[in-house]
C-alpha cells in the first residue's frame, strides 16, 4: 500500500523532534469523504521546545496550490494563528534528476508564505512577488525531506 501525504508528514514531524503528532482529519463513511480539523488541518504536532501547536495540511505536489488557496480562503486560519499556533502546507512528490532514482521531496509553505502565495484573481497560479511585510516566493521554493 502506498504511503499517503499525511503519513509522510507525520514521519517528517517526528524526525523534526515533535514528540506528539496526531492525525486530526476524520473519515465520514456515509458521505465517503474526509473532513479536516477546522476545514484546513490534517495533522497537529507539539514540539517540547516550541510554543503552540503546528497544524499541517498534507497533500501531493500536484494539489499544493489548491491547498494553499483553501488555507487562504479559510476563516479559521487567522484565529488559529492569533492563538499562538503555526500552520504549514506540506506537498509531497517524487523528484530527482532525469535518469536517476526519484526520491520523495517536501515542498513546504508556512503561514507567511500562504498569505503571499498566488495572490491575484481566483484561479490564477501566479506566484506573488516581495511585499514590505514578507518574503519573495518562487515557484521552485522547496525544502527537501524524505520519508
Residue 145 has a pLDDT of 46
The domain of 60 spans 5-116
Rounded CA-CA distance 58/92 in Å is: 8
Residue 102 has a pLDDT of 92
Residue pLDDT, tens place only, 15-57: 999 999 999 999 899 999 999 999 999 999 999 999 999 999 9
Residue 118 has a pLDDT of 58
Domain total for the chain? 1
Nearest to 24 by CA among 50, 1, 57, 62: 57
Residue 2 has a pLDDT of 77
CB 35 within 8 A of CB 26: yes
Residue 89 has a pLDDT of 96
Share of the chain above pLDDT 70, in %: 78
- 136 domain residue, yes or no: no
Q: Does residue 103 have a pLDDT over 70?
A: yes
- 139 domain residue, yes or no: no
- 122 domain residue, yes or no: no
pTM of the model: 0.76
Question: Could you tell me the three cell numbers for 21?
Answer: 503528532
- 145 domain residue, yes or no: no
- 146 domain residue, yes or no: no
- 20 domain residue, yes or no: yes
pLDDT band per the 50, 70, 90 thresholds, residue 58:
very high
Kindly state the average pLDDT of the residues 95-124.
80
Residue 112 has a pLDDT of 86
Check which CATH number belongs to the domain holding 9 and give it: 3.40.1350
- 143 domain residue, yes or no: no
Rounded CA-CA distance 25/39 in Å is: 9
Q: Does residue 138 have a pLDDT over 50?
A: no
- 85 domain residue, yes or no: yes
Amino acid at each position: 500500500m502506498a504511503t499517503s501525504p499525511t503519513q509522510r508528514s507525520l514521519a517528517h514531524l517526528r524526525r523534526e523532534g515533535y514528540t506528539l503528532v496526531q492525525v486530526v482529519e476524520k473519515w465520514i463513511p456515509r458521505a465517503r469523504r474526509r473532513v479536516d480539523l477546522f476545514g484546513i488541518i490534517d495533522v497537529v504536532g507539539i514540539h517540547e521546545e516550541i510554543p503552540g501547536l503546528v497544524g499541517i495540511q498534507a497533500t501531493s505536489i500536484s494539489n499544493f496550490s489548491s491547498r494553499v488557496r483553501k488555507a487562504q480562503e479559510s476563516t479559521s486560519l487567522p484565529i488559529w494563528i492569533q492563538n499562538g499556533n503555526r500552520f504549514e502546507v506540506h506537498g509531497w512528490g517524487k523528484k530527482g534528476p532525469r535518469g536517476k532514482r526519484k526520491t520523495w521531496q517536501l515542498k513546504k509553505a508556512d503561514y507567511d508564505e500562504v498569505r503571499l502565495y498566488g495572490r491575484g484573481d481566483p484561479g490564477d497560479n501566479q506566484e506573488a512577488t516581495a511585499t514590505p511585510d514578507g518574503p519573495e516566493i518562487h515557484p521552485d521554493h522547496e525544502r527537501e525531506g524524505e520519508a
